[in-house]
Amino acid sequence: MTNQSTLCGNQSGRIVFIDYIRVVACFLVMLVHASENFYAADSSGLAGNVSMLANEANRFWVAFYDGFVGRTCVPLFMIVSAFLLVPMKPGVSMGEFYRKRFTRILPPMIVFMLLYTFLPLLWGGMSWDQSLDDFKMLPFNFPSMAGHLWFMYPLISLYLIIPVVSPWLEKASAKDELTYLGIFGVSTFIPWLHRFISPALWGECFWNGFSMLWYCSGYLGYLVMAHYIRFHLDWNRAKRLRTGALCFLIGAAFTGWSFWLKGVPGQLIETPMLEWSWEFCTPNVLLASFGAFLMFSCIERKEAPAMVTGLSKLSFGMYLMHLFFLAPIAGFFVNGNVADPLIPVWAAIPAIAICTFICCAVTSWIISRIPGSRWVIG
């Protein structure tokens, strides 16, 4: 089993390597969204339905930053949530669990959904008609200018299912969990099969959207994987580091290559086909995320630097607000021409992400000084 002091946290109750993951994953989200400006960005700064790469430089560097480096960002957040919350603490009821989790994430989510619905009106980023249409749809989905808020819905679903699966995980053996994870691993091929074989698989049809592996697929697999790593994975630090590095390199290399393969410069392509292996529950992203988490778990410091701990606490708010900063910053560096940005694309993508990260960190820190800030940034 992994080092218990590493897993259980320091005297303040914080698990140090988890703080590092939160900070890095938050930055990687911004790196991914910075990259999208160089192949498929719409008015929100995120990828639209159709993509086109301007040249070979954009093709390579988007594949590198968005595919190889950044694609593990969302699974890492999911694994962290499960790692910290599963199994539930003894004596905690379903209602108590929901009340604690949802009072933390729902108020900030609602605040930012409203901000993304109406704030762009101030600088002409959207019309009143679009704003009102978005407002009408808020009970059903995220606003059109806040595509990144899709993440909140699977996070909510993960919280909803934790009290259901937690009793099983408390009793399940390592073999039981591995059996489930094997089935989950098979399910990660479904996105590929949907694209290249058939949009309807294993019982899917217009009157049934739930395939044979539906209940063993999706982010629930990352939840079980997090529990397995924490309670059953009996590897020392050296083995975790070696295996983690190998898994990450293989998964990330495939992820980057898959984009490069389809992204022929000058040719229009539907974004889902260009990103055919970029869904977060695909074999390559699963492998890279597993490897990345193992490598982070090798951090065995007793305390994280104060800046890391502070940024970790602010990471949720930074994630929620980052598109407000990323879009204008990207506009500055792109300079109206993705083929010839203000600085070379290899530098422009990380520069956009770094500037966005700094702006979000400062803004979140300022808001955190205000009483009641937890209702805005968590």
pLDDT greater than 80 at residue 33: yes
What share of the chain in percent tops pLDDT 90?
74
Q: Look at residue 342 and tell me whether its pLDDT is greater than 90.
A: yes
Identify the band that residue 91 occupies on the pLDDT scale cut at 50, 70 and 90: confident
Q: Which of these ranges, 47-51, 105-109, 164-168, 298-302, has the smallest mean pLDDT?
A: 47-51
pLDDT above 70: residue 11: no
Quick one: what percent of the chain has pLDDT higher than 70? 95
Check residue 1 and give its pLDDT: 47
What is residue 44's predicted lDDT score, i.e. its pLDDT?
A: 54
Cβ count within 10 A of residue 164: 10
- Amino acid 135: pLDDT: 95
Q: Which pair of tokens denotes residue 31?
A: 């790196």
Any idea what the Cα angle at residue 168 is, between residues 162 and 173, rounded to 5°?
Answer: 130
Q: Give the mean pLDDT of the chain.
A: 91
For residue 348, is pLDDT > 80? yes
- Please tell me the predicted confidence (pLDDT) of residue 9: 56
Mean pLDDT value of segment 51-63: 92
pLDDT confidence of 266, banded at 50, 70, 90? Answer: confident
| Residues 157-180, mean pLDDT to the nearest whole number | 94
Tokens 């074999």 belong to 283
CA dihedral 280, 284, 285, 286 (to 10 degrees): 90
Q: How far separated are the first and last CA of the chain, in Å rounded?
A: 32
Residues 273-325: tens digit of each pLDDT: 888 889 999 999 999 999 999 999 999 888 899 999 999 999 999 999 999 99
Using CB atoms within 10 A of its CB, is residue 337 exposed (0-12), middle (13-18) or buried (19+)?
exposed
Is pLDDT of 8 > 80?
A: no
Residue 221: both structure tokens together: 């697999």
Q: Are 229 and 292 in contact (CB under 8 A)?
A: no
Q: What residues does each domain of the chain span?
A: 4-377
| pLDDT score of 180 | 95
The region of weakest confidence among 45-54, 135-144, 225-234 is 45-54
